[in-house]
Structure 1
Amino acid sequence: MGIIGLIIIGAAAGYIATRIMGVEADLLSTVGIGVLGAITGGLVLRFILTVSGWLGGFVGAVLGAMALIWLWQTYGPRRR
């Protein structure tokens, strides 16, 4: 997204956020709040998705290893 798109999205997000929070701000402050909020929110969301992806992969790896161990113990060579 280009800088113009970021400013437009930031202005809309800042307007909505200031109205929800009950803050009276001028146009420049509203756009600044929206742009900085978009950058901050985007980074935080990207970090959370990355960490949850790692954790999901780790849980999947543990479950897969447990399934292989169970298969080995159930159908593998018998020891006496």
Structure 2
Amino acid sequence: MSGIGWIGAIIIGGLAGWVAEKVMNADHGLLTNILLGIAGALVLNAILGLLLGGTLGGWIGQFIVALVGAILLIWGWRMLRARSS
């Protein structure tokens, strides 16, 4: 989440995590939402950087990356839990 600072990353991560929670019909708390959004953004930014040589910029671009990343993390977690049960 380059260029938006830590406060911006927390705000975007929290919003993206909350939206991802609603989209995926999950039940997480505020802290988990923020962490999922930030982790999702970090993971997807790294993947986009490797595949495309760059990532989406600005607040809206980072929100989209964080949202998609958080949704993928929730989906992946569900797949791992389903496989282990």
Fold match (TM-score > 0.5): yes
Q: Which has the larger radius of gyration?
A: 1
1:1-80 matches, cutoff 5 A: 1-50=4-53
Normalised by the length of structure 1, the TM-score is 0.59
Normalised by the length of structure 2, the TM-score is 0.56
Q: Which runs of 5+ in 2 are unaligned?
A: 54-85
Q: What CA deviation, in whole Å up to 9, does each residue of 1:26-80 have, x standing for no partner?
A: 1001111111011111111111103xxxxxxxxxxxxxxxxxxxxxxxxxxxxxx
AA in 2 matched with 1:18: E
Between the two proteins, the alignment pairs up a number of residues equal to 50
AA in 1 matched with 2:32: S
Identity %: 36
